[in-house]
Amino acid sequence: MNKNFKVITINGIRGIITLVFIVIGLIAGFIISPGWACMKIWNHVFENSNTISTMNLFEGIILWAIIALVLYALNNRRPLIGFGSYPKLTPEQIREILRRAKNTEMFNASKDFEIMQKETIQNKEQPQENAEIAREEQRR
């Protein structure tokens, strides 16, 4: 069995509506909007041309698909965005990461922040203790 297998669950009508909303948003953001931009740019560049006709939205989406596929085909480097899972870290690797993190300034700054928070809490508690001591002295 594959331990890195991911399961997506859809619960009820709200899950279906959410899924439809996400799919429509992705289609609008990655297909229709760039296709509309390609259509507008094409029509603006060739508006005074008598030999080349104007483009509609469907043709703009096709032009965008052509541009995206050409860029994908010419990209000889590794993809910029990748999906996958990484193997679990061993305890030794975790200790090494924590050791390196403790040596960084950011980690030390977070320790200083924790110390300041503790001091602030103690300072808030001290006036209450002093007030209790003063009340006891007044009672005597």
Domain chopping of the chain, boundaries: 12-74, 91-139
Amino acid at 88: K
Could you give the C-alpha distances from 106 to 37, 93, 97, 101, 118, in angstroms and in order? Answer: 44, 20, 14, 8, 19
- Neighbouring residues of 140: CB distance < 8 A, sequence distance ≥ 6: none
- Per-residue pLDDT tens over the stretch 69-125: 988 888 777 666 666 666 677 788 778 877 877 777 655 566 666 666 676 666 555
- Per-residue pLDDT tens over the stretch 36-72: 999 999 999 998 888 888 899 999 999 999 999 988 8
Q: Which residues of 100-133 are buried (b: 16+ CB within 10 A; e: fewer)?
A: eeeeeeeeeeeeeeeeeeeeeeeeeeeeeeeeee
Amino acid at 72: Y
